[in-house]
Structure 1
Amino acid sequence: MTTPAPDLPLSAARQPLRWWRSWWSSLSPTRQDRFAALAPLVAVFLFLTAIVVSFWYLRTEEVEREKEALRRDVEYAQQRLRLRLLERQEQVMRLARDLSNDELARSDFVARAEALISQYPELHALTWIDASRRVRATHAAPTVTSSQIRVNGEVLRKGETADLFSLARDTLQPVYSQPAVASGDAMPLLQLQVPLAPERQFDGVVLAEYSIDSLLRYGLPTEVLARYAVTLLDASHHVLAGTPLAPRNSELLPWMGGKANAYQVPVAPVGNGLVLRAQAYRTSLGVVGSGLFWMVGTLSVLTAWLLIATWRHTRRRVQAQQALVAETNFRRAMENSVLTGMRALDMEGRITYVNAAFCQMTGWSEADLVGKLPPYPYWPEGEFETLRAKLFEELSGRTVSGGFQVRVQRKGGGMFDARLYVSPLIDARGQQTGWMTSMTDITEPNRVREQLTASHERFTIVLEALDASVSVAPLGSEELLFANRLYRQWFGSQTGGHLQLVAQAGVLPADRGVASEEGEDGLMGLPTDPLTSVRSNNAEIYVPSLNKWLEVRSRYLNWVDGRLAQMVIATDITPRRLAEEQAARQAERAQSVSRLITMGEMASSVAHELNQPLTAISNYCSGMISRIERGQIAEEALLTALQKTAHQAQRAGQIIQRIRAFVKKSEPNRQLADVEHMVAEAVELAGIELRRHNVRLSHYVAARLPQVMADTILIEQVLINLMKNGAESIANAQRPPAQRSVELRVVPRQEEGQDGIGFSVQDTGRGLAPEVLAHLFEAFYSTKSEGMGIGLNLCRSIVESHQGRMHAENLYNGSEVTGCRFSFWLPLA
């Protein structure tokens, strides 16, 4: 027993239906109504589309049929015209054969030509031309113009006919000319030249000329000429005969206009030079112009418009209903979610409405409150009379606009502060039906207000106790917004002190801080956001009226009322300035002491250096005395010895002068200094100490260095100290003579994007230990047993006072320390 196969087609057909039902049931009622309203509209549009497509298809079929009929008729006419031309060609060739065989005389040629022209209207002229291009005999129809008539004995001129004559002579075949558009009154002619070739020897041609217009009228079938606009064109599509149709422009349906149905073929045996074209006349508007089409289209559009109007009306009603429901839900949600308690009273003081927030604040439910008369359940005991009086004022309409504050008792026994605002309750007819009261819990704001008051008091106490003057004044006004105790003690309670501090500190010009005579703010238009976000400006000023140095800090801020204000904080820095001045004097003394110490350390070297010129002077003087006593010296020799003695004295004097200029105490004098001269002086003095330690000194100064703003003596002190330290490091390292050298280099260098001059002193000693590098520039730190530890500290202070930088580093050859380099940088003037 076999089981029947399942009905697969029925099951497959039920699947789309089930899907459709499930999709429709998943839609909301609003979307179902929308789809139900759109279905008829879609059906009407589909019906209109089907009608338009049907008419378009019929119109396309009609056009194709017209084109096919036009093509058949044109090809038929082309065959008729071809046969007629071939017949005339045979008759002309027969005439040429008789002339080649000398069977016709000139008179007989003319007679036969006249018979042919009279018999065939398209044949307009026959001409006999010999081999020398001379006309032997000719006959033309009466319709030929005088300019186109040929004369016996005339020789063919150069042109199209002469070129055709040469082609016929070369090919010995009949040749058709390409017809051209005639100029003036001349009609366009088609030429046929048949060569005369007795025994294959060229003996001239017979020239037959056809009228293009006659070929069109007599060579084509009359039914074709009646049905179409037929024209003959040349190779350039110029009309030779016939009248073409003008382009169609449909006024009713512009998109249906355009070119007429046309078809063209070349005319054989002429070739592409003569083209036959036919254009179909428009006999009717076709199916598109029929009344049925427009009636169906109009009814479809009208039906669609009615359906759209009905759908839009239904949609507006549904939208109005949805808006009403949404508004009701929104108002209910707003009443339930608002944090302000709402209570409605009738004209007798009975509670008619309370919202959820009011119930939540008091702890009483809506059933406990609605319909109650005073005293209400949330009134605290002991305050009934006071609250009853306030209720009477409320019902009488004598409440203030800012509301009034009361205490409210919760159902559980708790208390809170509340502020009540009362307004009349007006119905839709404009009549008052009661009073609407809004209640806000202000327990927390009261607590915050108390804390703010206490915080303000603490803030005021702190500002009053500051040892700095604090003042705040708005821009463009002489009003003083805030001033602490010290400001009032220094400047009083006026704005003059504030403006004086601002003007002296250069934070803002004094004439910009006061309003003009017209009452306009001098700072009107300043961008407040960038002003209030910038850092405070610091300046140190001296106030003669107080005999104090003050450090003034200023910044802009937005005052509590929104105005742009300027806060100025002035701190008394007189003790600090005095301490700085004393420190500067001590530093100057330390610099002088350092130079004296340096000269003291170099005393033996200086003595040795002076001993050379003094010894030379003594020797020169002793030699001159002994030679003068013996009378053995000439005047020139005496003059030479005196010059050498003077030179040695000048040398000793220069050494003493440099030492005095280096060690004398003087105020810092920064001026434009020549780097090369400054380095030369330092090298001259340091060279004395380096020679004592048997250390070789080499220096390089870049050419054309710009001047720097510096104190020459102080920079020379730095260079001498660094070169002397290098020589001592080499001596302590006990380097061999080949490795005992100090190098001084002065070259241009940039630091932090600023141009300047770089100085470096490099020695070949043992370098510096890491722990020494960490404390190298600290005061009173020294690696020498007899050192005071102020040399390098003073050097760095001198460089930094010139806005320069100084640092030290060891030099390595692999892992071995081969020396140390001290370098510093001075900015250009």
Structure 2
Amino acid sequence: MNPLGVTRPLTAQRRFLNQARAKLDESLPWDSGRRSLWAALIALVLAVLVTLVWLAGRYEASQVQAELEQDTSNAVGDLRGGLQRQVQALQALQSAHFSPPDWQTRALELLRDNRDWLRVEWRDPSWQLQAFADSPLRAPAFERIARSDVLNDANQACQRTKRLNGPAYSSTYFLPQSDGLGMEVMELCLPVMQAGDLLGYMVVTYSLQELLTERLGATFGRKNELSFIEPDGTRLAIAGTQRREQRIFTSQQLVDLPGNTLLLRMDGRRGAPDLFPNVLTALVTGMSIALITVMVLLTKDARRRQKAERDLAEALAFRKAMEDSLVTGLRARDLNGCITYVNPAFCQMVGWEAEALIGKNAPMPYWPPEMVDEYQQRQAIRMAGNVPPREGFESVFMRQDGERFPVLIIEAPLISVQGEQTGWMGAVIDISEQRRIEEVSRASQERLQATARLATVGEMASLLSHELNQPLAAIASYANGSLNLLQDPQAVPQTLDDVHMALRRIAEQAERAGRVINSVHDFVRRRDQSREPVPPHALLDAIAPLMNLQARKLQVRVHMRVEPGLPSVWCDRTMVEQVLLNLARNGMQAMDTPPCLDRVLVLQVRRTLTHAEDAGVEFSVTDLGAGIGADVAAQLFNPFFTTKPEGMGLGLSLCRTVVEQHGGQLEFEELQPKGTVFRFTLPVADSGKPSLSKA
């Protein structure tokens, strides 16, 4: 259980988050209305922009159309003026009395000056041809078709001349040419009058195509297309620029001539109006686009802000839910020690409402009265910054009803976004339950220790019975041998020496039994044991008599191999001797089986393979028995496990415990082709080591 992160069930958090989402959902209708207003504003601006551009286009189109109509009107005026000047030139020609050859010469000059004239004729009142002249600038107009075949229109024009008493124009007609093409022509009939008498007629044949080109092409034909058309739209003559793909502006005006009326059409060569026809429209359109862009950016920014506000609200709600769900009390204080924030867990812990705690300074309402001076001093030290951050300390708080309870306070500096310390943030944990659990654990530990002491009594009894078995057996053997020697009536002096030697052995084994009792007693009580530097060969020499006695009984040859120059080892001599004796006895008993013919036990002492200064001395006991099976090896060192009918199962367990107390480890491995090797390591004696060490 983490005391700083324990939370109540997540249902409280979910409930709080659901309430926060419900509050956010309540604001959605207003958000929908605001979105509708934004949409309406954007639609209105777009409508204004489209309308403005459309009106500007219409205005430009009207301007272009008005300009084209003005050009058409000017063209009609110019055409009328030119025709009037030509009539005056003809009147000047008829005012003088020329002979036919002279008249013809003068007419040719006029034909050269007026390219739109095809033929000039002088006819008498009876309509007889007196003289004529064809334009020298082109082939004769009446080359393919006879002039007499097309005199009807000219004759009608001259008839109208009589009624009008002035020049008259005929209707247009098509005149075929020798190249297979043709042209639309028109006749002008001008009466020749003298003193009120009709002397004849001047007839001029016009080419409508040349009339447009010569009279209007240079002025209006560069940017417009000019044409004479019939009322049904049939084009009679065309001049000027011909770009049909852009010909969208058209103006038509009547050219009223005496006796005839022509319809002049002018098509503008300019295309449709530009999207932004003038600077003002372009400026307004640009401002409108900029306004729309700003509105779009503001809309996006509003959405981002709304999303950020929603995320912030959810984050605050989630953090508030976590703070309210904590069972750890949170308390924030400013640099002066005044409380600025407490969470519900802290209020529930001390029994005070948040309003009663916020703004309070020392002494706090939850401080026990008898500890106010101590707490004020401790707070002054902490406010001065003399305490390491995030250092936990225990204290005692008092609830509103006067109950005292222990708490653990972990306080750290409160750092702002600018990296400045603005106060202190503390986590307060009620450790009353922890103290109760510790008391229960302490009581349980005492009961376990009492039980362990009772078990130790049984263990000590078992150890004593196990370890004293060999010394007592040796004493009994020596005593029986001595009695047998003393009962022999023929005893010789050498026999007495043997008896004395046996008695000394008995005394040594009795002393050994006493040391075993003391060592086992100290081992069971885990008290400080006496250790001393002991030469390795001395350990082997001490157990040699008992080991040889067992070897003779089991017919085992014992080989001791001690590496020369070995240092002394630091150990409890009696316990290590007992370990070596137990391992040697187990090895000899492992070879006490009929199939084992080569019964050799090897005790070897050498340096460990690591040649460091603190390297130890390795002791190994090797037998040539049948080895240890896998099922036995798994529980070989378990207490009370044995494979011997008379065994107690404590020997190897005690041997391992003794070796581990000396800082080593008892190990074994199989020997090929048969046998087992037990080995352990003892530390090298150092002159600086004390004579006592903790077991």
Tell me which structure has the larger Cα radius of gyration: 2
With the shorter chain as reference, the TM-score category is: 0.3 to 0.5
Bigger relative CO (Cα 8 Å, ≥ 6 apart): 2
